[in-house]
């Protein structure tokens, strides 16, 4: 089975750190949306500016659903289940992080992820 494809914001350092962290334990094919043929994946530029997407075979996951999918596949089952159970709160948290990527807290989380990858 081919590796899941992750379409992410290639200009976002936090996104890049997350991709690197996930890629340490999970075989993924990551493509910055700025360089992707979005029509091939039935995605728009506006959608990709707002959220990450995972394409796994004929299934497509966006935002927190993409994160939950990647965490589960990576082996972080407890965290993925917790995020799924939190439902709307997880969705709100995802979009808060996505819209505050340059905030101190998100930059700190990015640094922690970067250190985890070393």
Q: Parse the chain into domains and list their residue ranges.
A: 5-113
pTM of the model: 0.92
Q: Which two tokens stand for residue 10?
A: 């290639």
Q: Comparing 4-8, 56-60, 63-67, 114-118, which segment has the lowest mean pLDDT?
A: 114-118
- Give the mean model confidence (pLDDT) for residues 40-58: 97
pLDDT of 1 over the 80 cut: no
| Other Cβ atoms within 10 Å of 69 Cβ, number | 19
Q: How would you list the strands of the sheet with 59-62, edge to edge?
A: 29-32, 5-8, 53-56, 59-62
């Amino acid at each position: 089975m081919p590796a899941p494809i992750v379409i992410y914001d290639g200009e976002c350092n936090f996104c890049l750190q997350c991709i690197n962290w996930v890629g340490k334990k999970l075989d993924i094919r990551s493509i910055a949306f700025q360089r992707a043929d979005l029509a091939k994946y039935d995605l728009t530029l506006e959608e990709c500016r707002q959220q990450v997407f995972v394409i796994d075979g004929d299934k497509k996951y966006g935002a927190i659903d993409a994160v939950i999918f990647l965490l589960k596949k990576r082996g972080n089952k407890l965290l993925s289940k917790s995020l799924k159970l939190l439902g709307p709160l997880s969705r709100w948290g995802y979009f808060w992080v996505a819209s505050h990527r340059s905030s101190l807290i998100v930059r700190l989380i990015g640094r922690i992820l970067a250190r985890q990858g070393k």
